[in-house]
Amino acid sequence: MVKMVDVRQMTEADMTAADQLRSLAGWNQTFNDWQRLLSLQPHGCFVAEQDGNLVGTVTTTYYGSELAWVGMLLVHPDYRKQGIGGKLMKQAMGYLSTLGVTCIGLDATPAGETIYRKLGFQPRWGLARWEITSVPNFPVDNYLRVRCLESEKDLDEIINLDRITFGVNRAELLKLLVNDSLETYVIAGKGRRITGFGMVRAGSKAYSLGPLVAIHKVDAEEIITALLKDINDQPCYWDIPGYNLVAVELAGQYGFHKQRSLTRMFLGSLQTLSQPSRQYAICDFSTG
């Protein structure tokens, strides 16, 4: 007999148990990532409970009626094949429906892609996680044009550049990521307008490079070098859209190796156009 599963809103009191699920899955997020997701969407993150135990999670991130994201779909290994993941997905999708969201995105593993197809999600493009076990030391003269984010004007410019590239406004997410990152670097082009930016933050298993957006390859290369020199000798993950062949080439040149592949999928009509060829590193599988 299958025991009853209760799906309810996630609270701060669930963070420790949720992070234990994340650890069991071997994912790279941290306690800070859970807190960020919950602060962005306090009514749109959910947990599944059975016999008083937290056995599953899912999060949503709302970018406006044009697009929302589903992430952190986790089910404890001992409670799988009971339909818990499906219940959590339906809860997340139902919540986003009440907000009038016309398109939902997610990044699917090969195993998850089959499940999401049954829910109506369609593949848009592939992406891959690249990793390096120890970041090498880079020469100083490789990032002379890079500077730190310095002002509200800088922040407004990177939010606008991300909006044009990703397709929707992710201002609140980016503001939180700036605070959580080791550093945020920018490059300015003619007229001193920012033409590229990038961040790197600590993960539970490795540092995570991204988001990183650049109009020109040379800008991306300098920002990447600057970010990596801050984590010298440490492991790092780099999640790259399949469309960005330049980023894939750079990852190989920097000594990264492909770890695994995923598929970016959408449910509904995506009215805004993204430019994945300018995304040299995505933000995170849980937020797009």
What pTM does this model have? Answer: 0.94
Cα dihedral angle (30, 34, 35, 39), rounded to 10 degrees? 150
Which residues have a Cβ under 8 Å from the Cβ of 50 and sit 6 or more positions away? 3, 4, 5, 6, 79, 84
User: Can you give the C-alpha Rg of the chain in angstroms?
Assistant: 19
Q: What is the Cα–Cα distance from 173 to 246, expressed in whole angstroms?
A: 26
Tens-digit pLDDT profile for the chain (288 aa)? 457 889 999 999 999 999 999 999 999 999 999 999 999 999 999 999 998 899 999 999 999 999 999 999 999 999 998 999 999 999 999 999 999 999 999 999 998 898 899 999 999 999 999 999 999 887 666 667 899 999 999 999 999 999 999 999 999 999 999 999 999 999 997 668 999 999 999 999 999 999 999 999 999 999 999 999 989 899 999 999 998 999 999 999 999 999 999 999 999 987 676 788 899 999 999 999
Diameter of the chain measured on Cα atoms? 68
Structure tokens that stand for 102 in this block: 């016309």
Helix axes 15-25, 31-40, angle to 10 degrees: 120
Domains in the chain, ordered, with CATH?
6-101 (3.40.630.30), 129-261+270-281 (3.40.630.90)
Express the helix, strand and coil content of the chain in percent, nearest 5 each: 35, 30, 30
